[in-house]
Structure 1
């Protein structure tokens, strides 16, 4: 136990949560990728299990390196570099997407030796940059206004480019940044201005999308998803939508589930292993286990709040705030979409859904949080008062000597 505590430094509860979610991920990914294996891996059903095991192992290893060898100060130092690197990568992705040089949804950038979604890097980079700006501008109202301008300019730039191919991720990230500004004491008049602008933007996108057929495809996609959620999906009458399959999986799962590996719906859902993986969890393990899964994310959020409250410096506190909110928001969206509470959109369940490099970026977020928790533990040991030694009071001794003489 002592040897393990020296390696798995930081909040032990979060480490336990990660190990539990890792086990769940391996079980559910293996079960939900059967049809995918026959389409892409020649029927080798172990392919995606081994792949997921590799990336989870690499992610846990990356967290261990971050907690044991990297100081929290490094994240503040590299914040500026990462934000401008992510802007450059996002801009490259947007240009290539409009040029028709990217396949699929246009979110993935292929560099030859590695392919990844720049939005995943941008999420971490923007949160680090926001935490750094807020930490350095807390003294006066002028500092807070300066911080707001810097944050909003970079947030609009980053989220705007992400919006071109992924509305939900852009909205998710901006919501986390907004929460960070609220925690960072940005004046309410600026926050209300952001809220008002956001409402006008969403309403404008919805009502003007049909008036401008040449608008970006993502604009029409957003409007279409809102219409399908509010008025119903015409394809639902045929029973072929992903949302219908998710509801069927939850219905068949019931209270106790059908058992590990006994999912039928996953064979028909295109995103059973990713965006709708929570529905497959309910189908196989039932409402009781799925409720425990939701509880795990709530426990993670609670532990993040504890880490923030114990932080002795502002940058680590803001950093944990932003990263934990992104992860929890992402989990809430995945669960909400799977259960039909939210419009259909693509957000994986953190550390559970099938992933590649996205798992590594998620591990960086967890690694930062664990690094801050470990730094808190170190600071508490340093600040812990030394054992008090009873030193005789000189006046008391003189009084006793005089009393003895008498």
Structure 2
């Protein structure tokens, strides 16, 4: 085990908190998958879902290990070349996407020959965050003009968001918020940020107006769902989303302080998406307020390690990559928990590293691998610096010993006690000039 841990480079705190969240996820997923196990006259056996989740987690950690060994600066070029590929995937998803696990949105594509589904927006968000970090680090030394940044930075951002928006408003809003936060941290001019926010609002309003003009178009089919969710959140009107929130609140209230116990949730049998979107409600029901706060604390500790890693990074690109990939994970977790306690409307955001699902776990691990690659590089730089200091210290000690030896030799000459086959001492006085050749 010690040898395995030594092979894991980078920030050990991030490794630890990620491992804790992943290990904790097994019991909630095993318990909350019962409603899925009964769908279609199933037997109710959730062991298969546990094995599937275990496989997803294992593959995720392999992704982290593989990615964290790649120098993070390679992703500068990958992000620029990867954006057109992501756009093609998003277009294909809009045209051929399918509903997965009962979700009523076409956000996934089927991977041929392996029978797996993949949510393309998760990959798009990672590539986009790295692209923004690349742009900000590249232009840090030069003054930014709105016209140049509008073409080089915001046009790719808005293209990506426009391709995600029709099927997934919550993910679009989350990505846009995180990009705005990232450019703010990267010292993009505030007056330009205000202009971009205005453009984003105008673009969204235009999209909604188009949906009203073409109500039967599949492209705008999700707009009605957005409106109903906001209406349900602000009024007492009941529908399917309200049913989910009510069941989630019952689960949370039932948990009280210490919970009903692992696997003893009742609402998991009635709450749709109990193993993904609403898994936090099941966690609180089974593990109580203590378990719910424990999960929250783990995410906050992970956020703290991201802040530390960003602070330690010695390049602007490294700092922005850690912020751009780390903060959205924590923000997504906060949104998921806020939805479960009805602080926010239903969004469909999963709980990172805990909710079941393959592509969401793998893309989270992909982002974590890049973050750990940044911390690994800083760790290597620190080790090189330490080794250099040790070499300099050893060299200085060697020089000091040589100087001390020369000083002792000089003292012996002063005393007339120096003995050599080439010299004979005729006078034991303190004047070394009295030494003559034999």
TM-score (norm 2): 0.83
Tell me the alpha carbon deviations over residues 333-389 of structure 1, each in whole angstroms, 9 at most, x when there is no partner: 100000110011100000000111221111101111111111110111223351432
1:224: which partner in 2?
A: 228
Mapped pair 1:386 → 2:389:
yes
CA-CA distance at 1:36 after TM superposition:
0.8
Aligned residue number for residue 105 of structure 1: 105
Tell me, yes or no, if structure 1 residue 46 matches structure 2 residue 47: yes
- Residue matched to 1:266: 268
Task: Report what 1:168 is aligned to.
Answer: 170
Deviations 1:135-155 (A, max 9, x none): 211112147863454221111
| Counterpart contact for 2:275–2:355, Cα < 8 Å | yes
Within 2, Cα distance between the matches of 1:206 and 1:234?
A: 23
Aligned ranges 1:334-349 → 2 under 5 Å? 334-349=336-351
Aligned counterparts of 2:164 and 2:121: Cα–Cα separation in 1: 6
Are residues 352 and 146 of structure 1, via their aligned partners in 2, closer, same or farther at CA, if it must alter by over 3 Å?
Answer: same
Task: Give 1 or 2 for the bigger CA radius of gyration.
Answer: 2
* 8 Å Cα contact 1:137-1:144 kept in structure 2: no
Distance in 2 (CA, whole Å) between partners of 1:132 and 1:231 is 43
Tell me, yes or no, if the aligned pair for 1:138 and 1:144 is still in contact at 8 Å. no
Give per-residue Cα distances to partners, 1:141-193, cap 9 Å, x unaligned.
14786345422111111111111100001111111111111111111111111
Q: 1:302 to 1:353 in 2, by over 3 A?
A: same
Q: Report the more deviating stretch, 103-112 or 240-249.
A: 103-112
Task: Indicate the SS of the match to 1:262.
Answer: coil
Preserved contact between residue 7 and residue 64 of structure 1 (Cα < 8 Å)? no
State the partner residue of 2:155. Answer: 153
Coordinate RMSD, CA, aligned: 2.9
Cα distance in structure 1, aligned partners of 2:360 and 2:121:
10
Return closer, same or farther for 1:14/1:233 CA change in 2, 3 Å cut-off. Answer: farther
Shift of 1:112: 2.1
Is 1:127 aligned to residue 132 of structure 2? no
Q: Distance in 1 between matches of 2:242 and 2:142?
A: 57
In the alignment, which residue of structure 2 is the partner of 1:26?
A: 26
| CA pair 270-125 structure 1, distance change in 2 beyond 3 A | same
Q: Give the match for residue 73 of structure 2.
A: 73
- What is the rounded CA distance, in whole Å, between the counterparts of 2:67 and 2:145 in structure 1? 31
Any idea what the Cα deviations from partners look like across 1:16-42, whole Å, max 9, x if unmatched?
Answer: 112211122110000001121122554
Q: 1:208 to 1:247 in 2, by over 3 A?
A: farther
Cα distance, 1:309 vs structure 2: 0.9
The reply to whether residue 4 of structure 1 matches residue 4 of structure 2 is yes
Asked whether the equivalents of residues 137 and 147 of structure 1 are also in contact (C-alpha less than 8 Å), the reply is no
Deviations 1:290-315 (A, max 9, x none): 10110111111110111111111122
Deviation at 1:83, TM superposition (A): 1.3
Matched, 1:286 2:291: no
Provide structure 2 residue ranges, at least 5 long, that are not aligned to the other structure.
416-429, 432-438
Match of 2:279 among 274, 277, 280: 277
CA contact (8 A) 1:137 1:146 kept: no
Report what 1:57 is aligned to: 58
